[in-house]
Amino acid sequence: MTTDVEGGAVRQAGRKAAGHPWFHRMSRVGLAARGLLYLLIGWLALQVAFGDGGREADRKGALQSVADKPGGPVVLGLMAAGFAALALWQCAEALYGRPVPDGDKPTKRLSSAARGVVYTFGCGATLAFLLGYQGKSSDQQSKTLTARLMAEPGGRWLVLAIAAGFVIWGVVVMAGAARRGFMKELKTAEMSEAARRLVQPFGIIGNGARGLVGLAVGGFLGYAAISFEPDKARGLDGTLREFAGTPAGAWGLAAVALGVLTFGLYSFCEARYRKVDATR
């Protein structure tokens, strides 16, 4: 009985914290931080497309771009705080459900929990960079992790499962973009007609590009597992550069880079209109 009462008190305290206006404001700061990250990655990918490939078009390259500017450490600190807020927000949605139709479904709670893990990693990586640990590029990390996994018994099948996860996620995100499912997560009643006309194409193009990149990452990872060649795996930077090797050439990479940039802009729209109160 005492345990149940204490558990109920903890859940009530968590719900109260998740419903606090400051929690919502920090969640929006996190969405803006995510937007800045994608804008920088898209911009770096555009530079690669037009001949300047000196810096990786991934998280490491984006954070380095921020660090090199005046006030960079302050911005990095705000980004780390923003990603921490995003992680807490997604944990709240995993516990209390999402403020959308069918937001209490186990699949939606699970997807929120998965995003919480991703944002926790983003917070940790940003903090580590701020403290001086730059780490490896996304390509190096992907190849190293793939090699380690494939060296273990059954590791090849685990890599294939992870690859399938990326592919499925990419397809779901692209399908959601085409169906404009992201609009359900926005406060559309607060949008003017002009805002709606701006947000919808940003969401369609941005989410479509993000899904396409995720699908490609899964494809390279699956090929690495099937061919038993870990070096075939690609991180974000390597995946983006591979688009330049398609028949569309540099223009193919430029198109995807613009899509990634657009997702950054859409994230700023989410910072304004996203439903962030998991407790409703």
Q: How far apart, in whole angstroms, are the C-alpha atoms of residue 159 and residue 232? A: 12
What's the number of domains the chain is made of? Answer: 1
Domain ranges, residue 151:
2-273
In the predicted model, is pLDDT for residue 278 greater than 70? no
**Helix/strand/coil (H, E, C) string of 122-175?**
HHHHHHHHHCCCCCCCHHHHHHHHHHHHHCCCCHHHHHHHHHHHHHHHHHHHHH
In the predicted model, is pLDDT for residue 219 greater than 50? yes
pLDDT tens digit string along 241-264? Answer: 888 888 888 899 999 999 999 999
Residue 278 inside a domain? The answer is: no
Residue 28 inside a domain? The answer is: yes
pLDDT-derived band at 20, boundaries 50, 70, 90: low
pLDDT tens digit string along 75-132? Answer: 999 999 999 988 988 888 888 776 656 667 788 888 888 889 999 999 999 999 888 8
**What is residue 200's predicted lDDT score, i.e. its pLDDT?**
95
Which has the closest alpha carbon to 32: 105, 109, 86, 100? 86
Q: How far apart, in whole angstroms, are the C-alpha atoms of residue 166 and residue 155? A: 17
Residue 105 inside a domain? The answer is: yes
Residue 238 inside a domain? The answer is: yes
Residue 280 inside a domain? The answer is: no
Q: What is the pTM of this model?
A: 0.86
Residue 265 inside a domain? The answer is: yes
**What is residue 279's predicted lDDT score, i.e. its pLDDT?**
55
Residue 219 inside a domain? The answer is: yes
Residues 151-175, mean pLDDT to the nearest whole number: 92
Residue 248 inside a domain? The answer is: yes
Who wins on pLDDT, 4 or 231? 231
